[in-house]
Chains A and B, each alone.
Chain A
Amino acid sequence: MPVARTRCVALLGVTGHTVEIEADVGRGVVGTHLIGLLDMAISESRDRVRSALLNSRFDWPDARVTVSLFPASLPKRGSIFDVAIAMAILAAAGLVPPSRVAEPFFLGELGLDGKIRPIRGVLPAALAAAQAGARLIVVPSLNASEAALVPGLTVVPATSLRELVDWLREGDLDRLPCVDELAEAAFDAPAPLSSPGLDLMEVVGQPLGRWALEICAAGGHNLWLLGSPGTGKTMLAERLPTILPVLDRDQALEVTAIHSIAGNLTGSHPLLYRPPFVAPHHTATVASVIGGGTGLIRPGAVSLAHQGVLFMDEAPEFASGVLDSLRQPLESGRVTLSRAAGTVTFPARFTLVLAANPCPCGLGGEAGRFCGCSPNNRRRYLARLSGPLLDRVDVKIRLARPSRAELMADRAHVEPSSTVSERVIQARERAAKRLAGTPWRNNAEVSSAVLHRELRLPSTALTPLTRALDVGTLSARGLDRVLRVAWTISDLSARDRPGVDDVNAALTMWTGQES
């Protein structure tokens, strides 16, 4: 009896692995056997596939059906294999030409009525299929625009099993619409604002805050905003994505792949080319921030914020374990999770923005206001942000409530996000040109060695730093951080290298808030 073969993709994190599916319809006691390291959801697939086939007016083979998923060592989870299993069985039973299902990849979940239902993670799966040399991929029609983002792949959207089989039998590629042109349209479309209506112009009275935001956007530095309630911490943080440059094609695909696994893409415009903004609530658990979960390992907030902004409002309210778990992704730009299902690495290169009140009541340090917190309470509150974490934050500023005069005066100086974004793009270009041929893209990533060798500043520019080092207000690590920010400030003002003013400004940003 014939054996039929087809292909699908198993996802482990954002990496897909080709899975070969073989079906054998042969003699023996009638029954269906699925083998190859499967979890519950796939074992259930036996019942889904059977019902879907019968309800699509196909005969279930009256024989012993064995379906094997290779490689057997790879754990397989979820319902992504349903369509491929159905195709292998149909081909082995002689209802579909086996040669027609051998080459394409089939992704999708089956409904009992034979409808092909959308799944998560189509983009990373399609990318893996393309890498494995696939030319044709069949996906649920609701996921088709997502799969179409992968270059060089012909995407066949399928809505029902019956329709798919008719297409395979007739061998007519034009029967089902192929979405190849959709992909180009997605890349060429003008980038809509991720959060329409937000503009940096609205943050009046916080010129220092706006400048710090611009520096962070230009250099990829992490930011820490300290201030009383109502000073605009959240407003500022929310507007950081509006001044960040749009993602390039590779970054956009990478970001979209992560969000595809998390299952939060829209069907019509799946490609994310604006930097994402993720703001977890302060009750978030380590698993939700870093990623995890039993079975299917899902990306956490740090990975959803990849190439974008992770905003932690009321940072001291977060569990200390959550805050400290940020240290590894901040350092390496990725996060590695180990579960029974395997070890998964998600990218997690984000700009961290922390916001905090100066004390539990929020009024500490405000002129003319009375703070009722005991000194011990105040100390403990901010001490929840550990030293190692704050050490990774380059720009720390304190926001004060502006006076009426300051508010009026600042109205003349506010700039729209588009203007600031223009400067940010130019600054990034300068940095990129300087860092050409290195693995780094922005100033925040530059290694310490290069900072002190190739990018060494003249001693005149370094005088504020040597003084701070002598006095002891600056550590060796702090020195590197200040230098990186100084480079960004000089990039923003279109200077070739930071002068003493830039270094001073960067030093204030580093130490200013700790005083």
Chain B
Amino acid sequence: MAAKDELGKTGERLAVDFLRAAGMEVLSRNWRCGAGEIDIVARDGRVLVVVEVKTRSGRSHGTALESVTQEKVLRLRSLAGRWLAAQGEWFDSIRVDVIALERFAGDFSIRHERGLV
């Protein structure tokens, strides 16, 4: 496995732990369809949360958070619709979150931005 994929996997594992610790229930991981992939689908109370996990090994090429553009967020929102259509559960509303991880001195910093859409 390439180093960047390894980093991404580690990041997603950490993100899942983080979400669970925050009281959210992870419904699905790395859900794919023809239009793209959702890293984590979670439930926060009665809200469906689509989470994008971004992991960077440092800040030299910009921060992890700023690499998530408005366009990417809107794509995730439309993927949420496809995910919903594929199963039968109902939710009050849909939210798109970003979890940004940056490796720093052998450890990771984690930042959770809620409700970008």
Contact = CB atoms under 8 A, between A and B. Distances in A.
B63 A30 contact: yes
A62 B116 contact: no
Contacts of B93: none
A47 to B, nearest CB: 14
Contacts of B70: 29, 31
Contacts of A62: 63, 65-66, 111
A32 to B, nearest CB: 10
A41 B63 CA distance: 27
B52 to A, nearest CB: 11
Nearest to B71: A29
A27 B65 CA distance: 11
Interface string B55-92: 00000000101101110010000000000000000000
B60 to A, nearest CB: 12
Given A31-B66, A31-B70, 6 more contacts: A28-B113, A29-B70, A31-B69, A62-B63, A62-B66, A62-B111
Contact of A27 (B63, B66, B69, B113): B113
B63 A28 contact: no
> 8 closest A-B pairs (Cβ-Cβ)?
A30-B66, A62-B63, A29-B70, A30-B65, A62-B65, A29-B116, A29-B73, A27-B113
Interface string A11-28: 000000000000000011
22 contacts: A27-B113, A27-B114, A27-B115, A28-B113, A28-B116, A29-B68, A29-B69, A29-B70, A29-B73, A29-B116, A30-B63, A30-B65, A30-B66, A30-B68, A31-B66, A31-B69, A31-B70, A62-B63, A62-B65, A62-B66, A62-B111, A63-B65
Contacts of B66: 30-31, 62
Contacts of A27: 113-115
B73 to A, nearest CB: 6
A30 B100 CA distance: 12
Contacts, number: 22
Tell me the interface secondary structure of chain A in the complex.
Answer: loop
Contacts of B73: 29
Interface residues of A, number: 7
A63 B113 CA distance: 10
Contacts of A30: 63, 65-66, 68
A411 B111 CA distance: 90
B62 to A, nearest CB: 9
A196 to B, nearest CB: 57
A169 to B, nearest CB: 23
Interface in A39-71: 62-63
Nearest to B72: A29
A232 B112 CA distance: 81
Interface string A324-341: 000000000000000000
Interface string A490-512: 00000000000000000000000
A28 B114 CA distance: 8
B17 to A, nearest CB: 22
B69 to A, nearest CB: 7
A62 B62 CA distance: 9
B53 to A, nearest CB: 15
A28 to B, nearest CB: 6
Interface in B95-117: 111, 113-116
A458 B116 CA distance: 88
A40 B69 CA distance: 23
A27 to B, nearest CB: 6
B109 to A, nearest CB: 11
A164 to B, nearest CB: 24
Contacts of B65: 30, 62-63
B49 to A, nearest CB: 15
A27 B100 CA distance: 13
A364 to B, nearest CB: 75
A31 B66 CA distance: 7
A421 B69 CA distance: 70
B26 to A, nearest CB: 23
Interface string A161-203: 0000000000000000000000000000000000000000000
A46 to B, nearest CB: 14
A162 to B, nearest CB: 20
Contacts of A31: 66, 69-70
A444 B112 CA distance: 75
A30 to B, nearest CB: 4
Which of A28, A30, A62, A63 has the most B CB atoms < 10 Å from its CB? A30
A63 B114 CA distance: 12
Nearest to A30: B66
A28 B116 CA distance: 5
Interface in B5-31: none
Interface in A185-239: none
B12 to A, nearest CB: 20
A63 B115 CA distance: 14
A24 to B, nearest CB: 16
A29 B114 CA distance: 10
Nearest to B64: A62
